[in-house]
Structure 1
């Protein structure tokens, strides 16, 4: 490929990226407003957001393209409003933003206070995942959960390999079976594989308090409730489990255990760790 061809391809690729970004900006604006907007109102709103569209004619073409794509329509003389397809795209964009922000926040945890915040988020959501699993899980899914628990029990037994973050396998399996979009949105990020460093840091400090032994019993209680299809008991057992983890973090001694936990979390953020 000649240099002129590569330059042309680069310009074309960059143009595509810019058009895509412009479309998402407009979808977010129309979706957040909810009411029909005239081109002047759209232009003024974009300017307030610090977004630069070279002219109203350019903006008009982009809005027309949204119409052709079936993402918005003209609501009489009042202006454009999102179509059902546009609203669905708006919700996906908002979910992506929330997901990325949550994952970034979880990945950047570097203090025990951040770890407590993460556990509180999980405590607010995971009991619902356990309740749903008890109601809707298939026998095959329950058996898979049992196998996950058996692996956890094996690796944390005396003389076992004690891999850091082993407990998350049980929680991830429960979470991924959920059909609740909010539960999935939060737990997919809070329990993401890339957050294993956070669980590992907690394990290092809490292992001396026999945290794994306690967690094994809580997991067994959750499974027993699920097998009985007792949704309320599954929910309560999960909440008690996470309450216990939070209490153990809160009992750590300032100047000793907390300093160690903070140091491990900060060290695990470094590129070479």
Structure 2
């Protein structure tokens, strides 16, 4: 019965990762909460979590909990401090030089299962309307592409930049820049272009698709921040008059 319960728990956890909105930091419910939710013992939940961790779908930290994705390495934890005080233009400059290369390598090295997961993650980005959901799954998609490139040093560099997604200010600017329905459709199409170029094993096309996607995002961010800056003096003037 224990084996059956473990398999049942694993199936339910996979479903949880597919369809449930997680916290902004990707944290899963506690083992006790999962045990009560699925009606199985905590031992079975723990076994199922071990399987998911071995597959690279989650990572666990004692005293902190269980999180979606792979465990950040200690170097990226330390290096995350480097992004403190930076701005989105500096971040986009680095992304534009790093991620097209990662997409090219992914086109050469990604496994078929990786590509299917990329398609699944792309779909998840657009299932909901809240910013936390989109940031979580968009970050997971871009990290999977980076991981599929098969270069650990590149992946560590990517993780440093990807940490910025956890900053509420960064998330807020990104969400305001892509609120229009047309923008969401364009973003989905661009993600599809990247994935299908990788699936076609076409490095040049994959790199260019990623570059186009990031340039579009950069343009939206510039436009959004410019609009906000141009609106600020008028607001200040009105406040002064009143």
Q: What's the TM-score once normalised by structure 2's chain length? A: 0.56
CA distance, structure 2, for counterparts of residue 231 and residue 165 of structure 1: 26
Segments of structure 1 that go 5 or more residues without pairing to the other structure are 1-94, 261-273
CA separation of 1:150 and 1:100: change in aligned 2, threshold 3 A:
closer
Q: What does 1:101-250 align with in structure 2 at a 5 Å threshold?
A: 102-106=79-83, 108-109=84-85, 114-155=87-128, 160-162=129-131, 163-166=133-136, 167-192=138-163, 195=166, 197-210=168-181, 211-250=183-222
CA displacement 1:158-202 (0-9 Å, x = unmatched)? xx4453514222111111233224421210111138635354122
Q: What's the TM-score once normalised by structure 1's chain length? A: 0.50
Q: What does 1:49-88 align with in structure 2 at a 5 Å threshold?
A: none
Taking only aligned residues, the RMSD between alpha carbons, in angstroms, comes to: 2.8
- Larger radius of gyration, structure 1 or 2? 1
Aligned pair count reads 157
TM-superposed deviation, 1:243: 0.8
Query: 1:84 maps to which residue?
Result: none
CA separation of 1:118 and 1:226: change in aligned 2, threshold 3 A:
same
CA contact (8 A) 2:108 2:201 kept: yes
CA distance, structure 2, for counterparts of residue 258 and residue 149 of structure 1: 34
CA separation of 1:212 and 1:161: change in aligned 2, threshold 3 A:
same
CA contact (8 A) 1:205 1:257 kept: no
CA distance, structure 1, for counterparts of residue 134 and residue 126 of structure 2: 13
